[in-house]
């Protein structure tokens, strides 16, 4: 692969990305192709009807954030109850496709060959993809409720190894190839989507789709040891990941593995106490400068008891996501996440377009305060891929699936890559933790993969619920590290397939 590399959670998407890079395509082109393919091959985790957040950089270390978060529809001011699934959970536009367009434009691709980038995804949707154990797992988990989901018969009948065809989705991808990515918001596909949504009682104005955009900016950054960490801006929890690392920076390097995990867990608790303030309002605009200030980070670090764990008073949030990344021959990099929020999103597959629409609006609140639902508002977002620069150049691309678990998994990855100088494969295999409730354990405990020093953590007051080694609950992460102009990396040993 030389000096280029692509990674993703699906082997065919990864092979597609690496083939394009080998042919001289940009990191953005390879990432768009992978994102489109993953939308077909992993419909339980992502799709055209979801959101996406990207971080990009050129070879010189100019980092940009691409925040593709759909806004609340105009009818949001008439909503009196937010539901988790079904048509009434469809409250926001879907901005993933807008990030594809923004990434290509930002990389200088003014006339992208969409047939080349989206063609493999279109063919996979038309001819069929082999259903993976991951899709089977999430299909089986939701079987009791998915029988009533709209348009889900083909997914409910798909078992591991069978061929899943998505003809309507193939036609949608073909429209994007022929008309351009804007068609999702202003063209033939937009009209098809609006008709689909109206059929299930979600009346969306043309202006609601037209107004969808990807916000391009500088993002957030924080020095840590000898690198600079970059994260996406509000309303994502990128600031939370940076706050955790800033607290750890002030706590110093750990002397033992026990201390390392204790300090990581306690830093996460500190930062999560601040996370509830995050939203897209003007009132929250000051949060990054406050939470990442030297005074605040030092204050939070001083709260950490090196000998004793504090209680964990936070509610667990679930979501599912895919991480993919690419580094091209010119040194340009992409670190990206795309998601339909919950596994299978809203539980609504639109008939004409074949698109599974997301339920990210379900993360809004109807109470006065942060993250309140209102027309045009963007919800709090868990997606926060990252890029680390060393000596001003791209050094580390990283990200993970896992909602509340994302900052926690990223903390483990960054500590092991930076403080312990581990290679990507070693860092990805290191034991992870997850604070709070999960699908399988409703207790607010420290879920922990085997470390060998659980007894010492128990002595410090951690209430531990064991996870199996390399547990799927610990997130699906990916890392690319660039040393001497050569990238190395991979995706999680906690296999999603």
21 alpha-carbon distance from chain centroid:
23
Tokens 């092991």 correspond to 416
188 is catalytic: no
Residue 124, helix vs strand vs coil: helix
Radius of gyration of the chain (CA): 21
User: Alpha carbon 303 to chain centroid distance?
Assistant: 30
d(CA 257, CA 252): 13
Residues in the chain: 497
Concatenate the DSSP letters of all residues of 8-76 into one string: -SSHHHHHHHHHHHHTT--HHHHHHHHHHHHHHH-TTT--TTSEEEEEEE-TT--EEEEEE-PPBPGGG
How far, CA to CA in Å, does 324 sit from each of 31, 190, 270, 485?
Answer: 7, 26, 29, 20
The Cα-based distances of 288 to 281, 385, 428 in angstroms read: 13, 17, 28
d(CA 421, CA 227): 12
Would you give the distance in Å from CA 262 to the centre of its chain?
26
- From residue 394, alpha-carbon distances to 114, 206, 217, 391, 474 in Å are 27, 40, 17, 8, 26
- Give CA–CA dist 87/250, Å, rounded: 47
C-alpha torsion sign, points 264, 270, 276, 278: negative
Residue 333 tokens, joined: 């990099």
3-state SS, residue 202: coil
Catalytic residue among 321, 340, 382, 411: 321
Residues 186 and 198: their CA atoms lie apart, in Å, by 17
Looking at the DSSP bridge assignments, the partners of residue 34 are none
Active site amino acids: 321
């Amino acid at each position: 692969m030389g000096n280029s590399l692509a990674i993703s959670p699906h082997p065919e998407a990864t092979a597609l990305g690496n083939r394009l890079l080998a042919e001289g395509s940009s990191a953005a082109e390879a990432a768009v192709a992978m994102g489109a393919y993953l939308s077909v091959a992993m419909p339980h985790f992502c799709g055209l009807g979801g959101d996406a957040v990207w971080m990009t950089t050129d070879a010189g270390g100019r980092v940009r954030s691409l925040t593709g978060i759909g806004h609340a529809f105009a009818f949001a001011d008439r909503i009196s109850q937010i539901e988790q699934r079904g048509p009434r959970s469809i409250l926001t536009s879907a901005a993933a496709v807008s990030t594809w367009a923004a990434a290509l434009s930002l990389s200088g691709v003014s006339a992208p060959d969409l047939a080349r980038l989206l063609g493999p995804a279109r063919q996979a949707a038309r001819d069929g993809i082999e259903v993976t154990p991951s899709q089977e797992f999430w299909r089986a988990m939701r079987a009791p409720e998915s029988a009533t989901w709209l348009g889900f018969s083909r997914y409910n009948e798909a078992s591991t190894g069978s061929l899943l065809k998505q003809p309507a989705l193939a036609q949608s991808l073909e429209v994007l190839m022929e008309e351009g990515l804007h068609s999702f918001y202003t063209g033939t596909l937009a009209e098809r989507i609006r008709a689909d949504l109206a059929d299930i009682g979600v009346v969306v104005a043309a202006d609601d789709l037209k107004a969808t955009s990807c916000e391009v900016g500088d993002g957030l950054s924080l020095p840590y040891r000898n690198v600079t960490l970059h994260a996406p801006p509000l309303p994502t929890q990128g600031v939370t990941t940076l706050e955790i690392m800033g607290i750890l920076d002030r706590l110093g390097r750990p002397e033992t593995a026990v201390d390392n995990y204790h300090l990581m867990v306690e830093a996460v608790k500190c930062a999560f106490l601040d996370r509830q303030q995050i939203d897209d309002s003007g009132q929250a605009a000051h949060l990054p400068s406050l939470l990442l200030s030297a005074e605040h980070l030092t204050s939070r670090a001083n709260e950490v008891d090196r000998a004793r764990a504090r209680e964990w008073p936070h509610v667990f949030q679930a979501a599912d996501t895919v991480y993919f990344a690419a580094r091209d021959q010119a040194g340009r990099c992409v670190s990206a996440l795309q998601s339909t929020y919950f596994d299978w999103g809203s539980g609504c597959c639109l008939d004409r377009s074949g698109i599974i629409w997301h339920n990210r609006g379900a993360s809004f609140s109807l109470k006065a305060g942060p993250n309140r639902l209102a027309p045009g508002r963007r919800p709090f977002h868990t997606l926060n891929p990252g890029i680390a620069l060393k000596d001003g150049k791209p050094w580390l691309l990283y990200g993970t699936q896992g909602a509340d678990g994302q900052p926690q998994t990223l903390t483990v990855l960054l500590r092991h890559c930076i403080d312990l100088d581990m290679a990507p494969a070693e860092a990805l295999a290191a034991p992870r933790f997850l604070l709070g409730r999960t699908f399988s354990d409703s207790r607010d405990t420290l879920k922990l993969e085997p470390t060998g020093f659980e007894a010492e953590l128990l002595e410090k007051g951690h209430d531990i619920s064991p996870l199996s080694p390399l547990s799927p609950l610990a997130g699906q992460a990916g890392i690319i590290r660039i040393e001497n102009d050569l990238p190395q990396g991979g995706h999680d040993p906690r296999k999603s397939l």
